[in-house]
Amino acid sequence: MRALPLLPVAALFAALAACDDSTTAPTPAAPLAAGRFEATFDGGLGGAGTGTAYTYNLSWSAGVPLIWLELRDERVPERNTLMRFIIHGAGLPPGRHEVGGTAAENPLDAVALEFRAGATVADVQFVGFTGTVNVEEATAAGGVRGTFDVRTGALHAKGRFNAVAAYY
């Protein structure tokens, strides 16, 4: 029986061990403050976005369960740009939720709107989103914390939110 040389085998193990340096684990993102979001918008609203995150329970005026999860971008103060998730139900429990389709199929839809100079009608609208919203926590008071990754033909939006209930 012939013995294998140990030096090349030892060098191979050393090289493999150097590839898996467990001391360089990625640093988790700092928790978001209540009522805040951060995201990236590739396409029509390009760039990094940050701003307020609120939920609005509109069931009283709609006559059916309806909640908006609204992420208002504060990058450009003279514009009013927002990402709105429309929940056709009483809320979003923790878990993964599909975006798009009919309300009966997936009771979660999304739109992105840009209002220039305080206009009452959106100057730019993105509709027909598909993707997911992952809810990590939902509170009885209407708050919801999680992440989203949605896209439509001209816009890809990906980020995280810590929305609080708006009292109006």
Give residue 13's pLDDT: 39
Contact 116, 125 (CB under 8 A): no
Give residue 101's pLDDT: 75
Task: Name 114's bridge partners.
Answer: 81, 124
Residue pointed to by tokens 């209540």: 34
Q: How are beta strands 155-165 and 47-57 bridged, if at all?
A: parallel
Question: How far apart are alpha carbons 141 and 144 in whole angstroms?
Answer: 9
Number of neighbouring beta carbons within 10 Å of residue 121: 7
Outline where 36-137 has alpha helix (H): 59-62
Question: How far apart are alpha carbons 35 and 49 in whole angstroms?
Answer: 14
Give residue 111's pLDDT: 92
164 sits in which H/E element: strand 155-165
pTM: 0.79
Q: How are beta strands 67-73 and 47-57 bridged, if at all?
A: antiparallel
Question: How far apart are alpha carbons 97 and 95 in whole angstroms?
Answer: 7
Structure tokens at 123: 């100057």
Task: Name 113's bridge partners.
Answer: 82, 125
Residue pointed to by tokens 């939902």: 138
Tens of pLDDT along the chain (168 residues)? 445 444 444 443 344 344 444 455 666 678 899 999 999 999 877 788 899 999 999 988 888 889 999 999 988 777 778 899 999 988 889 999 999 977 667 789 999 988 877 777 788 888 999 999 999 999 988 999 999 999 998 899 999 999 999 976
